């Protein structure tokens, strides 16, 4: 277990850890914004937007993430779109996770009684106001537990980026394996790092749940 403290392995591990957090955090923000937008599309009165939302969710939720990474990393440059590998990884992870966020939010919107939206409309609110001021705040409360599952899965999914030129925890594991260190010692540290990240996300959502709890 002492492998982390010899030959500068710790610096490598720390950099990988931070890179995983950075990648996950930026992808999470993208997924949250995009997912909310998609959810709004899916419940909107405009058929074209509804179709777009449904299409997005169908494609991105059903494609294996590794394939998505391939499509982004090899497909976009072929179309003459050039970003850094990190940006490609954020796009792949963010687009993928957004489809899950969208579906979670949509299920939350469905829990809000129809009367709430009707009441908002009868007060003269627009669709945007109805959704943003009345429906989504109520929906957000109910979706926190399933949303936490989505965002615990995200840092773990981010390991795939390691195979596409992002120096994160998976990359650390590959580097140390290549140098010949015992695989069990390496996995102990890498697994511990993922556990720490997941636990932190979990605690954050617990806190949010407590904050928004209401008696019904």
State the residues that interact with other proteins by CB under 8 A: 74, 77-78, 85, 162-165, 167, 170-183
The distance of closest approach from Cβ of residue 161 to other proteins in the complex, given in angstroms and rounded to an integer, is: 10
Nearer residue to other proteins within complex by CB, 103 or 167: 167
**Which of residues 37 and 185 has its CB atom nearest to other proteins in the complex?**
185
Report how far residue 47's alpha carbon sits from residue 37's, in angstroms, rounded to the nearest whole number.
15
With b meaning 16 or more CB within 10 Å and e meaning fewer, what string describes 18-37? Answer: ebbbebbebbbebbbebbbb
112 burial (CB, 10 Å; 0-12 / 13-18 / 19+) is: middle
* DSSP per residue, 4-26: GGSTTHHHHHHHHHHHHHHHHHH
Shortest Cβ 75–other proteins spacing (Å): 11
Beta carbon of residue 145, minimum distance to other proteins (angstroms, whole number): 34
How big is the chain by its Cα radius of gyration, in Å? 20
> Smallest distance, Å, CB 152 to other proteins?
24
Q: By C-beta, is 57 or 91 nearer to other proteins?
A: 91
Of the two residues 9 and 148, which places its CB atom closer to other proteins in the complex? 9
Backbone dihedral angles phi then psi of residue 104, each to the nearest 5 degrees:
-65, -45
Q: Which is nearer to other proteins, 77 or 128 (CB)?
A: 77
Residue 173: name the closest of 7, 68, 17, 64 by CA: 17
Tell me the CA end-to-end span of the chain in Å, nearest whole number: 50
The distance of closest approach from Cβ of residue 82 to other proteins in the complex, given in angstroms and rounded to an integer, is 9
- CA 7/CA 210 separation, integer angstroms: 45
**Least distance in angstroms from the C-beta of 30 to other proteins:** 23
Pick between residue 177 and residue 212 the one whose CB is nearest to other proteins. 177
């Amino acid at each position: 277990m002492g492998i982390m403290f010899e030959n500068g392995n710790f610096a490598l591990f720390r950099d990988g850890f931070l890179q995983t957090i950075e990648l996950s955090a930026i992808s999470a923000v993208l997924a949250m914004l995009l997912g909310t937008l998609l959810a709004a599309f899916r419940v909107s009165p405009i058929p074209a937007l509804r179709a777009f939302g449904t299409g997005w969710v169908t494609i991105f939720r059903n494609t294996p993430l590794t394939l998505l990474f391939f499509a982004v990393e090899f497909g976009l440059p072929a179309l003459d779109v050039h970003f850094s590998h990190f940006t490609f990884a954020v796009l792949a992870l963010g687009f993928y996770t957004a489809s899950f966020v969208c579906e979670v939010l949509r299920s939350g919107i469905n829990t809000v009684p129809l009367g709430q939206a009707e009441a908002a409309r009868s007060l003269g609110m627009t669709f945007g106001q109805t959704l943003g001021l009345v429906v989504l705040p109520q929906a957000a409360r109910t979706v926190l537990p399933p949303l936490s599952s989505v965002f615990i899965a995200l840092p773990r999914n981010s390991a795939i980026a390691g195979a596409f030129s992002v120096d994160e925890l998976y990359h650390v594991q590959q580097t140390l394996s290549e140098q010949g260190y015992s695989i069990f010692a390496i996995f102990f540290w890498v697994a511990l790092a993922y556990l720490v990240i997941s636990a932190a996300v979990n605690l954050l959502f617990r806190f949010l749940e407590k904050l928004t709890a209401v008696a019904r």
